[in-house]
Amino acid sequence: MTKDVRKLKTERDIQRAMLQLLTTKNFRQMTVADICQASLTSRSTFYAHYLDKYDLLDQLVAKYQLIFTQKVHLRFEQMIAGEIDALVKGLLADMADNREAIRILFTVHEPAADLEAGFHDQLLAEWQRFIQEKSPTMTAPAELIAAMGTNVQMTVIEWALTHGDTSIDVVADAVNTIRGAVLRQIN
């Protein structure tokens, strides 16, 4: 039923290798042979696990998209109601182990596999749902406010991914002000 340990290990090695390679060269110019060389796996084994490098990227993106999906839904309420410190620190804590991987994948923008876009869409859906519940009829266009809130959050997330969780305090005040302005459009 459960997967063979060897499969888990090779998939781990291959995924790590791809992430590591993405820091050097971009996805397009990366070959399957490169990935195999970096992960110490044979090409035949690679193709036993993935259709091609696009499939590998898909699965990587899907993996972190899933983690994000699970976390975001739980934290969304407090993300917009609470202080910005709690928001970012909570998210970073959830993703501590994966921060570097997510940061790398955010640089890849393939039509069928775009983690940054995926995060964005996910947040946007949450905002639309939130606005619909809180105030179905509001003066400002709901779509605009949802997009605004989403983009503010994405900005903070990306900032935190690259700068780490220690330097949040520097920007907390500024972001809190903006967040408050967005929320006032809804209430």
Partner DNA sequence: AAGAAACTGTTGGTTTTCGAACAGTTAACG
Partner DNA sequence: CGTTAACTGTTCGAAAACCAACAGTTTCTT
Q: State which of residues 33, 66, 140, 170 lies at the interface with DNA (CB under 7 A).
A: 33
Which residues are paired to 110 by β-bridges?
A: 113
The binder of 74, among DNA, a copy of itself, none, by C-beta within 5 to 8 A per type, is: none
Give the nearest distance from C-beta 58 to DNA in angstroms.
13
CB atoms within 10 A of CB 144: 10
Which residues in 46-105 contact DNA (CB under 7 A)?
47-49, 51-53
Give the nearest distance from C-beta 40 to a copy of itself in angstroms.
5
Residue 37 or 69: the one with the smaller Cβ distance to a copy of itself is 37
Q: How far apart are CA 97 and CA 94, in angstroms?
A: 8
3-class state of residue 107 by DSSP: coil
Residue 31 or 42: the one with the smaller Cβ distance to a copy of itself is 42
Q: How many residues bind DNA (CB under 7 A)?
A: 21
**Residue spans of alpha helices (H) in the chain:** 5-22, 32-39, 43-49, 53-81, 84-94, 99-105, 115-134, 142-163, 168-186
